[in-house]
Amino acid sequence: MKLYKAYAKVNIFLKITGMRGNYHEIISRFMRVDSLYDELSFVPKDVSDEFKIIGSFSCETKQNTIYKAYAALLDSLDEVSAHSLQNLFSRYGVHVKKNIPAFAGLGGGSSDAATFLKMCNEVLHLGLSLNELALIGLKVGADVPFFIYGYDSANVSGIGEIVEEFREKLLDIEVFTPSIEISTPKVYGLYRENFYNPIDGFEVERLKKMASKDILKTVAADEANDLFKPALELYKELKNHYRHGYYFSGSGSSFFRVKERIE
């Protein structure tokens, strides 16, 4: 069966711009990491109504982002297409070779969900546009739309639903992930309690126009990512893993840098 690649991402910068209910609004530059990806494929299984994910996961099937994507897709389809989708997964399971670490700020679960939605759209000829898939994906997680669009680099805002392509050369990114499982809700919670300081619109526009290599050349790690300081406070052992010249992705625990020297 055909293999599909679900790529990781890093956040070149991640700044909080405000709140929307219980959600934090952000402005962030997402960049795809070409060298790190999960591999997804459909594989035959014994006929049954059970949705099956084959791979190394610590969560229950119904907690998996792929299952959540399946449920969201099923809910959005007409009766005929929904029946085709259910029929497909009565005969096939989803095989996932995990290479992207979990709880790492690299978007692995979101990328898997987005890739799964695109696989279903292709295999079943559902005819859904990328915008329609992104709206379905947003029900699964805030980062899913970025992976649906498949851009090399993009400015992501709102709670993740606004994805604007940023045309630039894809950087050769090296990722280092310590064995620390970080809770994104806890990091955001501490940010809100102790570090809340949204940036203004002028700074948002300045960052949106800057090339990623220029941002990494001029901005320190704790300035680039508003979640770095609260993550360090919550997970003291992160300090032992931080290396000069590296940046922090998402809510962690991954650090990254550009392999070639930034001129």
> pLDDT of 138-163, one tens digit each?
999 999 999 999 999 999 999 888 99
**What are residue 8's phi and psi, to 5 degrees?**
-80, 165
Please give the structure tokens belonging to residue 151.
């851009």
172 a catalytic residue: no
Alpha helix stretches (DSSP H) within 92-127: 108-123
The per-residue pLDDT for range 242-258, each reduced to its tens digit, is 988 999 999 989 999 99
- Pairwise CA distance, residues 158 & 241, whole Å: 31
Measured distance CA(73)–CA(246) in Å, rounded: 38
Residue type (1 letter), 253:
S
Q: Confidence band (pLDDT; 50, 70, 90) for 263?
A: very low
Question: What's residue 122's pLDDT?
Answer: 97
Q: Specify the residue for token string 């099937």.
A: 61
**Residue 253, Cα to own-chain centre: how many angstroms?**
14
Fold assignment, 1-263: Ribosomal Protein S5; domain 2 (3.30.230)
One of 38, 112, 143, 226 is an active-site residue; which one? 143
**Is 139 among the catalytic positions?**
no
Per-residue pLDDT tens over the stretch 165-213? 999 999 999 999 999 989 999 999 999 999 999 999 999 999 999 999 9
Q: What is the pTM of this model?
A: 0.93
Name the active-site residue from 9, 15, 68, 118: 9
**Quick count: other Cβ atoms within 10 Å of Cβ 48?**
11
Q: What pLDDT shows up at residue 59?
A: 79
